């Protein structure tokens, strides 16, 4: 799976940014079907098995759903490789690396 790196900076007022993101995520979640939301939850569960992370968040956006792993460390690289191969085959899932953590994007399509 190809991984993209983004050069993003942390917000100066993190609690305000987190609250704003939560409100926008809730509003965008109405654009997704229950099947799409369940798919995101299943992918999150799979990632919880292969990563050790401080927090894992699902965020809904206009064009895609993100699953962010905060301070992620791989604990099962063999299974991660299999999961990422499956994600590539299913299509619409990309991996993004930032200073804040690892993010998987699921296209809305």
Predicted local distance difference test score (pLDDT) of residue 109: 74
- DSSP sequence for 69-97: EET-EES-HHHHHHHHHHHHHH-SEEEEE
Total of domains in the chain: 1
Q: Mean pLDDT, 10 residues at a time, over the chain (109 residues)?
A: 68 79 92 95 96 94 95 94 93 88 91
Predicted local distance difference test score (pLDDT) of residue 4: 63
CATH value at residue 77: 3.90.1070
Predicted local distance difference test score (pLDDT) of residue 56: 95
Residue 79 belongs to a domain: yes
Residue 54 belongs to a domain: yes
Residue 56 belongs to a domain: yes
Predicted local distance difference test score (pLDDT) of residue 101: 87
Residue 92 belongs to a domain: yes
Residue 15 belongs to a domain: no
**Owning domain of residue 106:** 36-109
Predicted local distance difference test score (pLDDT) of residue 1: 66
């Amino acid at each position: 799976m190809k991984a993209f790196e983004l050069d993003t900076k942390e917000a100066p007022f993190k609690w305000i940014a987190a609250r704003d993101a939560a409100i926008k995520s809730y509003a965008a979640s109405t654009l997704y079907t229950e099947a799409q939301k369940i798919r995101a939850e299943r992918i999150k569960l799979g990632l919880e098995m292969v990563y050790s992370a401080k927090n894992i968040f699902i965020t809904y956006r206009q064009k895609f759903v993100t699953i962010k792993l905060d301070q992620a460390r791989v604990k099962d690289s063999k299974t991660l490789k299999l999961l990422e191969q499956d994600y590539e085959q299913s299509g619409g899932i990309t991996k993004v690396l930032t200073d804040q953590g690892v993010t998987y994007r699921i296209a809305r399509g």
